Copies of this chain bind each other. A is one copy, B any other.
Amino acid sequence: MRNVKVAAVQMSCLGTVEENIKKADSLVREASSNGANIILLSELFERQYFCQERRYEYYDYAKSLEENDAVNHFKKVSKELGVVLPISFYEKDGNVLYNSIAIIDATGEVLGVYRKTHIPDDHFYQEKFYFTPGDTGFKVWNTKFGKIGVGICWDQWFPETARAMALLGAELLFFPTAIGSEPILEVDSSAHWRRAMQGHAASNLMPVIAANRIGKEEVIPCKENGMQSSSLEFYGSSFITDNTGEIIESAGKSEEVILYASFDLDALMEDRLSWGIFRDRRPEMYIMK
């Protein structure tokens, strides 16, 4: 029996890095005081979602792993509280900028960095302007509380992400994200978004933990960069599934909340083996294009 308690933090993001780190800090402490061992904050929580518009000056937000404020802050918090913290940040590696996540083990040690593999590009998600597609490949992390895989936002739409992490031995799948309304397409994709990840849980026989931000974030409309006058409203809806893809913890669209769930990783492994999915795969027949 290897029990782990996970938490997904759903919060809005304020105007400054300092305010957001302070807010996240307080929520991480609350989750830890409620017994959480692995605590997931949402994507790029240090700032409002700057990818709504294309501005060269925002490139300055990118810092190396060693220089990022959130990573440095939460290394200390992790060590103090003994919790695992995947920390999303805008990474600068020489001339190249990535959408990255540092995995901080319960000792405060950074186990490494995963760089977002799939980069979206739409009117309000102009990420191809800011981020080079990641070069690390999918990774799993042998933390104090279990082997975890972490994908970032758009990665969550690709079954390849979840399967790759499962094949590398992941026991739990985490997805920090920043997703909201689609002002152009005029759809609320929240249920669709959940079903894609419920499918990853169902097909890989392991829990999925997803943390999204909430809140409407205004930008100044600017004709030159193709912006419309409306702005993104992030739809929360963070959730945790069991190993059959059933949603067992669910957040609303606008509440600040922490979700919790406990799992026995040994029991999950036993279930996974009894199901036979990984036994019966036939990689030689799969299409790679």
Contacts and interface: CB of A to CB of B under 8 A. Distances in A.
A249 interface: no
Nearest to A185: B274
A17 interface: no
Interface string A120-162: 1110000000000110011000000000000000100111101
Nearest to A282: B117
A164 B199 contact: no
Given A198-B199, A287-B167, A276 B159 contact: no
Nearest to A279: B121
Contacts of A286: 160, 164, 288
Nearest to A160: B286
Nearest to A156: B203
Contacts of A121: 276, 279-280
Chain A interface size band reads 35 or more
A245 B118 contact: no
Q: How many copies does the complex hold?
A: 2
A289 interface: yes
A111 interface: no
A277 interface: yes
B191 A246 contact: yes
Contact of A277 (B137, B158, B244, B246): B158
Contact of A191 (B191, B244, B274): B244
Contact of A160 (B163, B195, B196, B202): B163
A245 B196 contact: yes
Interface of A: 117-122, 133-134, 137-138, 154, 157-160, 162-164, 167-168, 185, 189, 191-192, 195-203, 244-246, 274, 276-277, 279-283, 285-289
Closest 8 CB pairs of A and B: A199-B199, A159-B159, A192-B244, A195-B245, A196-B202, A195-B202, A164-B287, A160-B286
18 contacts: A117-B285, A120-B276, A157-B277, A159-B159, A159-B200, A159-B203, A160-B285, A160-B287, A164-B285, A164-B286, A168-B287, A189-B244, A192-B245, A192-B246, A195-B245, A196-B199, A199-B200, A286-B288
